[in-house]
Amino acid sequence: MSPEDRFSVSQKLREGLIKSTGIVGAARTGNAMRALATCIPVELREKESPRSKESDETARQRGKEFWTRIYSRNRVFDPEASVRASPDYAFIIREVLYGRIFSFDGVIDDLTTGYVIVSALYGMDCPNQLQHHMKGMLINGATRQELKTLQDLCLGLANILDVKFRHEPASIPEMPE
């Protein structure tokens, strides 16, 4: 494997962890990122933040577009539920997490981001959000079989680790009409 390929793989690992921040939180992501850093040679580490090179306006616009690609065709998703719960929470989700974290496509694409988010949601035992993001993955090109394979992987790992869930696993949704 070339040095460029090795850098790309390590960059994608870091990006997956960064995107998981919006689901699992900064503390868990920080622990994972620091552990990963001890395994990655210095020449494969990033020297600067690619997100720092873009304006807030660019990030927010990209975030709105990504959010729309995930939720617009999902008839059971209520886009105002978060606003009713807390306008500030809705702002943080849409403007910060989608703008600066989830929608950033400089390293991984929408579909791969979906794999990161859905995997993290399995681990967090969040079936409602899991359903919405699986539908978003279908909209962005995943197949039901790919979602089933991901579910089997996540739940199989949870079983090996003896993880107990409060909720039943979310069913694999149909493609939204």
Average pLDDT over residues 56-63: 95
**Cα distances (angstroms) measured from residue 169 to each of 99, 117, 122, 154, 162:** 29, 15, 8, 10, 15
Expressed as residue numbers, the domain containing 113 is 55-160
Please state, in angstroms and rounded to a whole number, the distance separating the CA atoms of residues 70 and 12.
21
Is 9 domain-assigned? no
Say yes or no to pLDDT of 97 above 80. yes
Q: What is the pLDDT of residue 146?
A: 97
How many domains does one find in the chain?
A: 1
pLDDT (tens digit, 9 = 90+) per residue, 17-32?
999 888 898 999 999 9
Tokens of 5: 């390929």
**Using an 8 Å Cβ cutoff, are 22 and 15 in contact?**
no
pLDDT tier for residue 169 given thresholds of 50, 70 and 90: confident
Average pLDDT over residues 21-50: 92
Q: What is the pLDDT of residue 88?
A: 94
pTM here?
0.87
CATH code (residue 112): 1.20.1290.10
Please state, in angstroms and rounded to a whole number, the distance separating the CA atoms of residues 134 and 35.
29
Is 87 domain-assigned? yes
Is 138 domain-assigned? yes
Is 6 domain-assigned? no
Say yes or no to pLDDT of 177 above 90. no
